[in-house]
Structure 1
Amino acid sequence: MSLNINFQEKFEERHIAPTAQDVPEMLEAIGVHSIEQLIEETVPAKIRLKNSLSLPPALSETDYLSKLKQTASKNKVFKSYIGQGYYDVITPGVILRNVFENPGWYTQYTPYQAEIAQGRLQALLNFQTAIIDLTGMEIANASLLDEATAASEAMYMQYSLRKNKVANTFFVSENVFPQTLDVLKTRAVSYGIDLVIGDHRTIELTNDIFGALVQYPAGDGKVYDYSVFADALHANQSTLSVAADIMSLALLAPPGEWGADIVVGSSQRLGVPMGFGGPHAAFFATKEIYKRNIPGRIIGVTIDSAGNYALRMALQTREQHIRRDKASSNICTAQALLAIMAGFYTAYHGPQGIKAIAERIHGLTVLLAKALETLGYKQENETYFDTLTVPLGDLCDPLHAEALNNEMNFRYDGAKVNISIDETTSLAAIKEIVRVFAKIKAKTLADIDFSALENGLESVVPNDLQRTSKYLTHEVFNSYHSEHEMLRYIKSLEAKDLSLCHSMIPLGSCTMKLNATTEMIPVSWEAFSKLHPFAPTDQVGGYMQLISELDQWLSAITGFAKMSFQPNSGAQGEYTGLMVIRAYHEDRGDHHRNVVLIPSSAHGTNPASAAMAGMKIVIVKCDERGNIDVNDLKEKANANRNNLSCLMVTYPSTHGVFEESIIDICQIIHDNGGQVYMDGANMNAQVGLTSPATVGADVCHLNLHKTFCIPHGGGGPGMGPIGVATHLVPYLPGHEVVDINQGKSISAVSAAPFGSASILIISHAYVAMMGAEGLTNATRFAILNANYIKARLENSYKVLYAGTNGRCAHEMILDCRSFKNYGVEVGDIAKRLMDYGFHAPTVSFPVAGTLMVEPTESEPKAELDRFCDALIAIRKEITAIEDGIADKVDNLLKHAPHTLAVISADDWDRPYNRQEAAFPLPYVATRKFWPAVGRVNDSYGDRSLICSCPPLSEYEEVV
C-alpha cells in the first residue's frame, strides 16, 4: 500500500455538493457532454473572462483559521469607554450558543412563508413588544439597519407627513451623534431637505421647519427635558423624532410620554456585541396613526385556517416590492437575527433584570463622577445616565497617554473627555479609571474613600425625568429567567422554523447557499467582536488587514478598482451606488443629470432606491423573451441624453438569462453620457466566468449575504458593498468620525465606517478557502444545478424564459398562471410544498403567478431530486383537479399546509386520506417537518392590526 502524505482536504469539495458520480447523470438529463459545454451554451462567449481570477491559493479550513488568528492578534482589545452609540455587552451564553452561533437560527430565510416561520416571527414580535414598552410608543417595526440610517428614515417619514407641503427644513440637535448627522446629510441631499443644526433650547421654529431630531440622552451625556420643545414643535405643525438609548429608558421617562412622534435607536446594548460596528438591530417606533408610513417590516398577529393564533409580516403593501418608487423606503432586509437576540436578551433578564442592569450602569457612573470631583475635576453634566463630560485643559494629552498605557479608550472632544459606562463595567474598572485620572494629578487611589462615596448613592436624574410607568409586563418577559427555561423557550421557537438545517431553500434571486461553520466561527472571537468602531486606528490592524484583503479580492472578482464596505444591506448598496454616480456627475458640472433608466423586470428595490437618490425614473420595456428591449432602451436613452444619469441593470437578468446584448446596452448608456449601475443580486452566476467591469458596468453592489455566504439570519443581517471603476473611486462614502475619505467622498451612508464589519469575516473566509478555481467552479455548479432542475421540471411546468440555446443561468421562472383556470393559485403551490418539507421558491416575482427557482452549488443532487419530485407530484395533484378527479375547492392544495393537529385529529372529512396530505412521497416520512400553523389569514391580521404580544387572555380567545 502506497501512502500519500501530501493530501490536503479542499474546502471547495465541502462547499460544492454534487459529486463526481452525480455530474454525468445531471449532464445527461440536461443534454450536454460536459460542464464546459453547458457554460459555453449559457454564458455568451464575448463576455467570458480570458484569464482566471487573480486570487491567492486556496487555504484549507484549518490553515485559514490558523492564519486568521494571526490576523486577529493585530487587533488590540482595550476597554472601551467611547460610547457614542456603541457599548460593550455581556451576551448570555445561552443566547450566544443557541441563537447567534446556531444554524437553526442564522440560516433561516425572510419569513415570507409564515406557516413555517412562526418561531422567528414570535421572537421578532417579542422584540417589537420590548421596543414599544421601553419607548412608550404604540407601534414598532421588526428592526432597521443601524441608528443613523433609522434616523434618516425618520427624517423622510416626517418629510412625507408634513402638513405644510412647502416646508423644507429639518432641525437637528447639535448634540446628536456625529455619525448620525453625517448620514442625515447624505439623505437630505437627495430629497433637497435643508438641515439646520443647533441648540433645541434656542432654535426659532419657523413655518419652514417640518420636523426635528434630538438625542436622548444627548451626545455628550446630558439628559434634557425635551417636553417643552416637543410642545412647541407640535404647535408649529411639526413632528419630533428622538434618537434614544434603549437601556436608559429603563430609568428615564420614555419619549412616548413627553411628546415624541418617532423614536429610533440601536438595540445593540441588549446583548449584541460591538463587532467593530455591527451588525446591530436598529429600532423604529411611532404612533399607530402612522402605521402605513413606518418603514421596514412589521410582524402582526392574525389567525390561521383553523382560527388559531398565528403571526405573519403585516401591511406588506407598504413595501418596495409592491409600491416600487412610491414606497416609503427601499428597505428589503432588516437585522432580524440581531433583533431576535435582543428580544431573547430582554426576555431572559425581564423587567427587573433590565432595570437592575440600567441602575448598575447609572450607579457606577454616579460613583465615577463623585470620585473625579474628589480629585478636583469638574464634571459638566448635571443630569446624565451613563456618560460624563470632563474638561481637562492642558491635562488632556497626559490623560490620553496614560489611558492608552492602561488599555483604556475614552472619547475626546477638544480639551474635554467623555467617559461612557456600560454593562461590563465593574467597580474594579471604575477604580482603574479613577487611578488613571489621579495619576496625572500626582495622586493615588488612597486619596479617595470609595466606601464613603458608595454609601447613599442617588440618581442624578430629576424626578420629573425618571420613569414611573411599567414596562415588559407581558408573560414572555416574566417567565424564562433561568437558563434551563430560556434554553427550552429558544428551542421551542426554533422547532417551528424551517431553515437550511432541514432542506434547500430554492428562492430565486436570494441564493440560500451553505454558510460553512468555519466561516462563522471567528465572528464570535473577542478580537473581532469586542472592538468599538471608533477605536484608534493602531488598535484595529487585524480588521484593517482583513478589510484590505477582501477589498483586493472582490475588486479582482468584479474587475473594479476599489470597494466600499459601508453599505450594510443590498438595497443600501444600490442607494450608495446611485449617490456616487450623482456626485460624479455633479463634480463635472452636470447637475441636471437625474434620469435613471430601469427595466420593467427590475427588483423592487431598484426604483425605490432611485427615488431615494432623487432620480427621475424612466421604465424600459422587456421583449417577449424577458430581455431588455434594446430598441426601446436606445430610444429612451437618446430622448434623455442631456439628462441621463444612469441605467440600473441586473445581470444575469432577473428572468434568469445572460442577455447577449449586455455590452451593447452598456455602450448605449455611455454614448449618451450616463453611467451603468449593475445590481449584484445575481453575481453568483458571474464569479470567475465574467464580471461587471467586463460587460461595461461602472458600479455594482454585491450581496455578501448571498453570493459570498453571509447567512440570511431570518431576514438579515446583510452587507451590500459597492465596487466602482477608477473614475468613481474619489466619490466613495467617507465618514465623519473615522477618516476613510477618498478626496471627493459623499458623506456617510451608514453609522459605522465599514458597515456591519464583523460579518465581513465570513466572506473573507469563503474567498480565502475557495480560491480562484473554487469560486469559478461554484459558479459553474450553480449553473449546472439550475439547468438540471430545469431539465427535470420542464415537462411538468412551462419555463418562462431561457437563453438562445435554451439554457437558464442560475435560476429560472416556472409559469403557473394557467393553473388559475382550475382554481389553483401560485400561493397554493407554495403552501403545498411545505407538506413535502420545502420552503417555496420566490412567489410572483418578477412575474405575477410564477415561481422563481434558484438552487445553489452547495445543494447535492439528491436534494435537487427531492425538490423536483415534490414539484412534479404537486403538478399531478393539479392535473387531478384539471381532470375533475379532485374538487376545485376541497383539495390537497387549497387545504395546505397540513399541520400535525389536523392530521392527528379524531375527525377527518376530507376527500383525500391523511397519508396523501402529510406524507405524499416516501422520503417525507423520514424527514417530516410539520408547519406550526395552518394557512395564515393575512387580511384578518391587517384589518385588526396587533403588532405586540397580546395578553394571555387574547391568546386563549383566539385559540
Structure 2
Amino acid sequence: MNTDTFSLRHIGPRESDHKDMLNTIGLDSIDELIHQTIPDNIRLQTELNLDKALSEQEYLNHIHELASKNKVNKSYIGLGYHPSNLPAVIQRNILENPGWYTAYTPYQAEIAQGRLEALLNFQTMVTDLTGMELANASLLDEGTAAAEAMALLFAVRERAQKKANVNKFFVSDDILPQTLSVLQTRAIPIGVELVVGNADEFDFSNEYFGAIVQYPGKSGEILNIEDFISKANAADIKVAVAADILSLVKLEAPGKFGADVVVGTTQRFGIPMGYGGPHAAYFATKEAYKRNIPGRIIGVTKDTDGNRALRMALQTREQHIKRDRATSNICTAQVLLAVMAGMYAVYHGPNGLTYIANKVHNSACTLANALEFLGLEQTNASFFDTIQVKVEDSSKIKELAEANDINFYYPNNNTVAISINETTTLSDLNDILNVFASTENKEAVSIQEIGEHTIIPENVARTSAFLENEVFNSHHSETELMRYIKKLERKDLSLNHSMISLGSCTMKLNAAAEMLPLSWANWGNIHPFAPANQVEGYLTALKTLEDQLTEITGFAATSLQPNSGAQGEFAGLMVIKAYHESRGDHHRNICLIPSSAHGTNPASAVMAGMKVVVTKSTEEGNIDVDDLREKAELHKDNLSCLMVTYPSTHGVYEASIKDITQIIHDNGGQVYMDGANMNAQVGLTNPGNIGADVCHLNLHKTFAIPHGGGGPGVGPICVAEQLKPFLPGNPIIASGGDNAITAISAAPFGSALACLISYGYIKMLGAQGLKESTRIAILNANYLKERLQGHFDTLYSGERGRAAHEMIVDCRAFKANGIEVGDIAKRLMDYGFHAPTVSFPVAGTLMIEPTESESKAEMDRFCDAMISIRKEIEAATKDNPNNVLKNAPHTLEMLTANEWDLPYTREEAAYPLEYVKDNKFWPSVRRVDDAYGDRNLICTCAPIEDFM
C-alpha cells in the first residue's frame, strides 16, 4: 500500500473489496464491467497526457511555491473588489469546516435547518441594508446580479400596458465596467437595447422600461438617486440600483427612495478577493416581483407539529419545474460565501458595521484632505470610500506606487482613483501620501490621525435603522459566535456524517489538501484586476488547469470564466451563437433538447435567445434518434445546436451518441454537451470523442470543488477548434479568444480561488488516478444497483443491463401502499442519510449516485437502509397513513416526549437498524409544510408576530 498515493485516500473501496463487489455484480473484473458499460466505439485508445501525480505533501509544497510567485500589494483598485478582514472565528468554523462546505443545496429542509437559518440571516441583512421587501439567498457576482435585475424588469414591464413593447434599458456610464460587459452579453439575446449615458442628463422618456445606476459610481461619486428614482417613477421607468453594501451603512437605503431592485456583492463582508471569487452577490426587490425573482429564496413555514421551520420557498419558479419558462437558469448560488457574509454581519452587528463604515469613510476623507494640502485636486464632490486625484501623468504614479507595493486604479492618463477599505491603516494612508509627494517633489506632511469627517450629501445620508433583530445583537464575542455557528452546524447533515448519494450532483470527497490553499493570503488577497506581473502563481495555475481540462475533454481550449454550471451552459450557447453569426448565419436559433435534459438546459437556451424544440425519449430512456433526425432535418435551415447530457440523465451511455452528433452536424448545427455527468467519462471517453463541439464542466461535481450548501459552483467551458476564437473576454484584463464575446461573469477567470481545488485534484490524481476514479464510480454504481435488485426496480440501464455512474430506482408502484417517493426521502433521515435525487428526471423515482469516494461499508449501510425501508413500505397500507414512513422524520423531541401514541415503537422510529445507534443524526424539525410557507411568505428573521 503506497501511502504517498493520493488516489488511495480519494477512492473509497479498498482493492480487497473489489472481488466481493464484482461477485455481487456477477463479473470477474472491472475491465469486463467497463466493457459492458461503455460502448467500444467511444472508448479512448490512449491515456490522458497529464503530469505525473503528486503526493499530498508534494502538492502542498508545489502550491506553496506557486503562491510565493503571487505578489500581494496593498490594493486600492476598488471597482467592486476590496480587501476585507475575514474574522478568524468564521474562517476556522465555516470556510475550513467540512460540516459547512460539504453540505448540499437544502432541498431536504428537515436536515438543513442550520444553513437555512444562516441564509435567512443573510436575506435579513440584505433587506435591512437595501430597504427592500424581499431578498434571495445569494447570486453569483455583482455583474450577473445586475443582468438578472435587467431581465426581471424586462419581464415585468408588460404589467404597465404602455411599456409592453418597450425594450430600451438605460445604463449609467458610472457603472462598473465589468458589469456593463455582462449586461451587454445578456441584453442582445433577449431583445433589450442598452443605452449608456450620464445619469444626470437622462431624459426619462417613454422609450425606456428600466434603468440601472451605480451607488456610489465606479468613480466614487455619489449619485443623487433620490432625484433620479423620483423622476424615473414618474415616467414609469423601473430602476435597479447596484449598491456597495458597506456604503449602505452610511448611505440611505435605495428602497427608501423607491428603487425596484437593488443588487451588489457582499465580498466586503469578510470574503477574500481571491482574484475574482467566489463571492456572494445579493439581489433584493419588491414583494410584488416575488414570482420573478431569480435564484433561491429562504422562507419561514411550520412543521407537522406547528413549530417554526425553514425551507426554500416558491420553488415553482425554478428551472427544474418551469424549464424554458423559468425565471432564470440559476442552479448553484454562492451559499457558503453568503453564510460567511451573513455571519460577518451577525458578528459585528449594526454598531460594528457602523464603526467599520465610519473608519473607511473617515480614512478616505482624511486622505483627500492631505492630498489637497499637498496641492493636488480631488475631483469627487461626494464619496464614500473612493477618491479621484488629478495628476499630470498617472504612469509616473503607477510606477512609483507599484515599486512601493501599492495598486491604484487609473481611469485615464491624468487620473488616479483610490478606494479605501476596511484593512487600511493610518500607516497605509501615509504610504499613499508619500507616493504622491515623491512624484510632486514635495515633502509630505504626515497624517497624525484619522479625523472624523463626512462628505456624504445630507439627502442621501442614512437615517433608517438596520440589523435590529436579536441575532445581529447577540453574538459579538468569539465564544458566542463559535457556539452559534456550532448550533447551526449540528442541524445539518453533510458529507462529514454520511454518504450523500445525489444522482447528477456527484457528492464526492473534497479533500483537505485541495482546500487548504484557500485560506492562504497569497491566494486570497489578490485583486482580479491586479497587474499580470503580480499574479504569476495564479496565471500558472489557471493556465495549467485550462490545459488539464482541455486534455480531459478532448477539445482545443477552455475558459474558466463561467462561475456556475448554468453560467457554463449560457456561455457555451453564446459561443455557438457567435460562431454561427461569424459565418453569416444570424438566423440559426433552434436548439434541440431531449425531454430528459436538465431543467437548466432549456432555461439557458431561452436566455441565449434560442427557441427550444424538445425531442422525444424512447421507452428505454434513450434519445429517440428517429425523432431527433426528423426535427433536425425539419429545422436544418435554422438549427443552431443540440444540448445533450452524456451519459444521459437516465444514467445510461447511449450507444447511438456518435450518430446523434453526426445528425446535428449534417444539418448545420453544433453540439453542446452538458458536463453534469462527466464523472462517468474522465479517462475512459470524452466529449470531443463523441462528436460534441462544446461542453461545460461542473467543477463542483466531477472535479471536487465542494457544494458548499448550494454553491459555489464553477462551470468552465471547453470548446473545439472552430469555437476557440469566441471564448468570453473581460473589459479590463485581456482574456478569452481573438474574437471574444463580452463577459459572462464579472471577473476574467470567474471564481479563480475555487479553481485551485480542481487544480489540486487533477495534480494529485494524475492520469491514472483520474481514470481509476471513473472506473470505481461505475463499479460503485453497479454494486448498489445489484444490491438493491429485487427490492427496487431500476428504471433504465444500458444495452447490457449496466448502469453508468448513477441509476434511477422506480418508486411509483408504492403508491398502492399509500407511500410517495417523498416519504422514502424523509424516512432515510431517520437512518442517517440524505435522500438521493427525488423525482428527477422522472417523477416518483430516486436517482442514486454513490461516486468513487464512498467505501463499500458505507454503501452497504445505505443499501441496508433502503432494503429496511422497502420492508416498511410493504407493511404500510393506503387506508392507514399513520405509519413510520408517513410520520418521518422523527425528532429527538418526539422520541423523548412523555406521550407516545404511535402504532410502532420509539426504537423502530429512531433506531431502525443497529448501525444507527453508533452515529445517530437527529433532524431538528419534523416534516415541513411547503404549501403553508408559500401561502404565507416570510423571508427575514423577524418574529412571525411582526407579520400578523
CA distance in 2, matches of 1:692, 1:454: 58
Matches within 5 A, 1:110-149: 110-149=105-144
Contact 1:246 / 1:267 at 8 angstroms: preserved in 2? Answer: yes
Change beyond 3 A, Cα 1:10–1:352: same
1: CA distance, partners of 2:638 / 2:905: 64
Could you say if the C-alpha distance between residues 954 and 889 of structure 1 is closer, same or farther in structure 2, counting changes exceeding 3 Å? farther
SS of 1:499's partner is coil
Counterpart position of 2:83: 88
Give the drift of 1:183.
0.2
Letter in 1 for 2:496: C
- Equivalent of 1:35 in 15, 30, 33: 30
Partner of 1:229: 228
CA contact (8 A) 2:226 2:460 kept: no
Q: What's the CA shift string for 1:658-699, capped at 9, x where partnerless? A: 000000000000000000000000000000000000000000
- The alpha carbon displacement at 1:454 in A equals 4.7
Corresponding letter in the other structure for 1:136? G
Task: State which of 906, 912, 921 in structure 1 corresponds to 2:904.
Answer: 912
- Asked if 1:405 corresponds to 2:403, the answer is yes
How far residue 219 of structure 1 moved from its aligned partner, in angstroms, is 0.8
Q: Partners in 2 of 1:159 and 1:752 — Cα distance?
A: 25
Residue 220 of structure 1 corresponds to which residue in structure 2? 219
Counterpart of 2:920 (choices 928, 931, 934) is: 928
**Could you tell me which residue of structure 2 aligns to residue 572 of structure 1?**
567
Shift of 1:741: 3.8
Distance in structure 2 (CA, Å) of the matches to 1:140 and 1:877: 41
2:820 to 814, 822, 825: 825
**Partner AA of 2:582 in structure 1:** D
Alignment-mate amino acid for residue 25 of structure 2:
I
Q: Is the 8 A contact 2:138 2:335 kept in 1?
A: yes
- TM-score of the aligned structures, taking structure 1 as reference length: 0.97
Are the structure 2 counterparts of residues 601 and 327 from structure 1 closer, same or farther at C-alpha, using a change threshold of 3 Å? same
- Aligned equivalents of 2:745, 2:428: Cα separation in 1: 32
Q: 1:889 — aligned with what? A: 881
8 A contact 1:601–1:654 mirrored in 2: yes
1:8: Cα distance to partner? 5.7
Equivalences for residues 124-523 of structure 1 within 5 A: 124-162=119-157, 163=160, 164-394=163-393, 396-414=394-412, 415-445=414-444, 447-448=445-446, 450-451=447-448, 454=450, 457-523=452-518
The partner residue of 2:653 within 652, 658, 667 is 658
CA distance in 1, matches of 2:945, 2:181: 46
Q: Which string of whole-angstrom CA distances, capped at 9 and with x for unpartnered residues, describes residues 869-914 of structure 1?
A: 00100000010125x8xx6310000000000000111000000000
Aligned-residue offset at 1:165: 1.5
Amino acid in structure 2 at the alignment position of 1:408 = I
Q: Is the 8 A contact 2:426 2:450 kept in 1?
A: no
Match of 1:23 in 2: 18
Q: What are the within-5 Å matches in structure 2 for residues 1-12 of structure 1?
A: 9-12=4-7
Indicate if the aligned counterparts of 1:166 and 1:208 stay in contact, CA closer than 8 A: no
State the Cα distance separating 1:382 from its structure 2 match.
1.2
Deviation at 1:954, TM superposition (A): 6.6
Change (3 A) 1:385 1:612: same
Counterpart-to-counterpart distance in 2, 1:356 and 1:131: 18
Question: 1:44, 1:940 → 2: CA distance?
Answer: 49
Match of 2:849 in 1: 854
For 2:931, give the aligned amino acid: S
Q: Answer yes or no: is 1:945 the counterpart of 2:937.
A: yes
User: Which residue of structure 1 aligns with residue 802 of structure 2?
Assistant: 807
CA change 1:25–1:954 in 2 (3 A) is farther
> Which SS does the other structure have where 1:393 is aligned?
coil
Query: Is the 1:709–1:762 Cα contact (8 Å) retained in structure 2?
Result: yes
Pairs within 5 Å for 1:548-947 = 548-882=543-877, 888-947=880-939
Question: Given that residues 592 and 642 in structure 2 are in contact (C-alpha distance below 8 angstroms), is that contact kept between their aligned partners in structure 1?
Answer: yes
Conserved? CA contact 1:598–1:619, under 8 Å:
yes
**How far apart, CA to CA, are the structure 1 residues paired with 2:126 and 2:313?**
17
> What CA RMSD, in Å, does the superposition of the two structures yield over aligned residues?
1.1
Q: Distance in 2 between matches of 1:399 and 1:511?
A: 50
Name 1:77's counterpart in structure 2.
72
- Asked if the contact 1:822/1:888 (under 8 Å) is kept, the reply is no
* Residues 777-818 of structure 1: per-residue CA shift (max 9 Å, x gap): 000000000000000112101100000110000000010011
**1:143 CA drift (Å):** 0.1
Report the Cα distance in structure 2 between the residues aligned to 1:824 and 1:725, rounded to whole angstroms.
48
Letter in 1 for 2:285: T
Bigger mean CA offset, 619-628 vs 193-202: 193-202
Cα pair 1:262 1:284 within 8 Å, conserved: yes
2:366–2:453 CA contact under 8 A, matched in 1: no
- CA–CA separation in structure 2 for the residues paired with 1:952 and 1:598: 44
Shift of 1:233: 1.4
Cα deviation, residue 206, structure 1:
2.3
CA shift, 1:259, in A, is 1.9
- Rate the CA distance shift 1:631–1:952 in 2: closer, same or farther, 3 A: closer
1:618-677 superposed Cα distances (whole Å, 9 cap, x missing partner): 000000000000000000000000000000000000000000000000000000000000
Name structure 1 gaps, 5 residues minimum: none
Partners of 1:913 and 1:405 in 2: CA distance: 74
**1:652, 1:809 within 8 Å by CA — same for their partners in 2?**
yes
Distance (whole Å) between structure 2 residues aligned to residue 834 and residue 922 of structure 1: 15
Distance 1:833 1:196 in 2: 54
Q: 2:61 pairs with 66, 86, 90, which one?
A: 66
Please tell me the residue identity of whatever aligns with 2:401: A
| Paired letter, 1:778 | S
| d(CA) in 2 for partners of 1:397, 1:498 | 54
Instruction: Specify the code of the residue in structure 2 equivalent to 1:109.
Output: Y
Q: State the 1:767 CA deviation.
A: 0.3
Alpha-carbon distance in 1 for matches of 2:275, 2:241 = 24
Asked if 2 retains the 8 angstrom alpha-carbon contact of 1:593 and 1:643, the reply is yes
CA deviations on 1:843-878 (whole Å, 9 max, x unpaired) are 000000000000010000000000000010000001
* Partner SS, residue 243 of structure 1: strand
**Could you tell me which amino acid in structure 1 is paired with residue 561 of structure 2?**
Q
> Contact (CA 8 Å) 1:546, 1:764: kept in 2 or not?
yes
Question: What letter corresponds to residue 15 of structure 2 in structure 1?
Answer: A
Deviations 1:407-451 (A, max 9, x none): 000000112010000000001100110011111111223x35x34
1:145-201 Cα offsets, whole Å, 9 max, x none, are 000000000000000111211101000000000000000000011112111000111
Aligned twin of 2:97? 102
Q: Cα gap change, 1:454/1:272 in structure 2, threshold over 3 Å: closer, same or farther?
A: closer
